[in-house]
Amino acid sequence: MKPFVRVNCAMSADGKLAGEERKQIRISSDEDIKRVKELRRSYNAILVGVGTVIADDPHLTIKNADYEENPVRIILDSNGRTPDSARVLDGKAPTLVITNESCTKEWPGVEAIRCGKDHVDLTRLMDILSKEYNIESIIVEGGGETIASFFREKLVDEYSVFVGGLIIGGRDAPTPSDGSGWVAEGGIRLNLFSAETLGNGVLLTFLPEY
Ligand SMILES: NC(=O)c1ccc[n+]([C@@H]2O[C@H](COP(=O)([O-])OP(=O)(O)OC[C@H]3O[C@@H](n4cnc5c(N)ncnc54)[C@H](OP(=O)(O)O)[C@@H]3O)[C@@H](O)[C@H]2O)c1
């Protein structure tokens, strides 16, 4: 069975994940940051695209957690662009970098999975993660191109977005479902599951209708 996939991200009140120069900006309230920290504890893995690794250099760990307590970190990186100095390679959590089949790049202490001809083949990856790594649940934390790909492949089971009290602007600023083209002809309809005020923003949780 494929892992349960929850997308979780934070966007500004004008629908942006970050500014045009793609640098990380604080959108979440303190309450939302606390929620995300707790959420990570109940998932087997946290997944992001290499664009997020390059832009934000996140740790993707739980504060003060041991190696074994941390969820597996998964990076989609078809062509091996993850810098050797990236924090996700710090050895503090089990880490998988997913490249395409022609990439030969290796990173010390990290397992590379070759999956897909051009971009990472997400449907196949879900199968590998479930069967070979016993991963039953994944939080996809961004960025926009990664989230769009999960929707395009109809792999998202739950979508939660924190809408924070901030306007960012910028035609080219990243959005939660980014990149070119529709995710599906006419879009993907979502059913609102819950709406919760968390400090100066609101957490919206939707279930996709495929
Ligand atoms: N506010 C938030 O919650 C939040 C969270 C995370 C990130 N962000 C922001 O989002 C921005 C980064 O987002 P992004 O869209 O540029 O990058 P991204 O989604 O993090 O990474 C996209 C890259 O992943 C690689 N990739 C490999 N297989 C893929 C697949 N099947 N589908 C999609 N991508 C695949 C591609 O690079 P290759 O072709 O080289 O493989 C692609 O360019 C930054 O500004 C960051 O600050 C915000």
CATH placement of domain 4-208 = 3.40.430.10
Task: Summarize the confidence of residues 91-106 as an average pLDDT.
Answer: 97
pLDDT value at residue 28: 98
| Best residue for ligand 1 mutational test, from 78, 79, 204 (most atoms within 8 Å of Cβ) | 78
**CA–CA gap between residue 116 and residue 106 (Å, rounded):** 17
- Residues with Cβ < 8 Å from 134, sequence gap 6 or more? 44
CA of 210 to the centre of ligand 1 (A): 23
Q: Which residue has the tokens 């494929």?
A: 2
Ligand 1: which residue has its CA nearest to atom 5?
Answer: 142
Find the residues whose C-beta lies inside 6 A of ligand 1.
9-10, 17-18, 22, 24, 27, 48-52, 55-56, 76-79, 81, 119-120, 122, 141-146, 149, 174, 178
Task: Summarize the confidence of residues 112-128 as an average pLDDT.
Answer: 97
CA of 176 to the centre of ligand 1 (A): 10
pLDDT value at residue 7: 98
% of residues, the chain, pLDDT over 70: 100
CA of 145 to the centre of ligand 1 (A): 5
Q: How confident is the model at residue 52 (pLDDT cuts 50, 70, 90)?
A: very high
pLDDT value at residue 130: 98
CA of 142 to the centre of ligand 1 (A): 6
Q: What is the pLDDT of residues 145-162, one digit of tens each?
A: 999 999 999 999 999 999
pLDDT value at residue 152: 98
pLDDT value at residue 148: 98
CA of 50 to the centre of ligand 1 (A): 6
Per-domain residue ranges of the chain: 4-208
What region does 203 belong to: left with phi over 0, alpha with psi -120 to 50, or beta?
beta
Query: With contact defined as beta carbons under 8 Å apart, do 174 and 21 qualify?
Result: no
Residue 195 sits at φ, ψ, to 5 deg, of -140, 125
Ligand 1: which residue has its CA nearest to atom 24?
Answer: 49
Ligand 1: which residue has its CA nearest to atom 45?
Answer: 22
pLDDT value at residue 61: 96
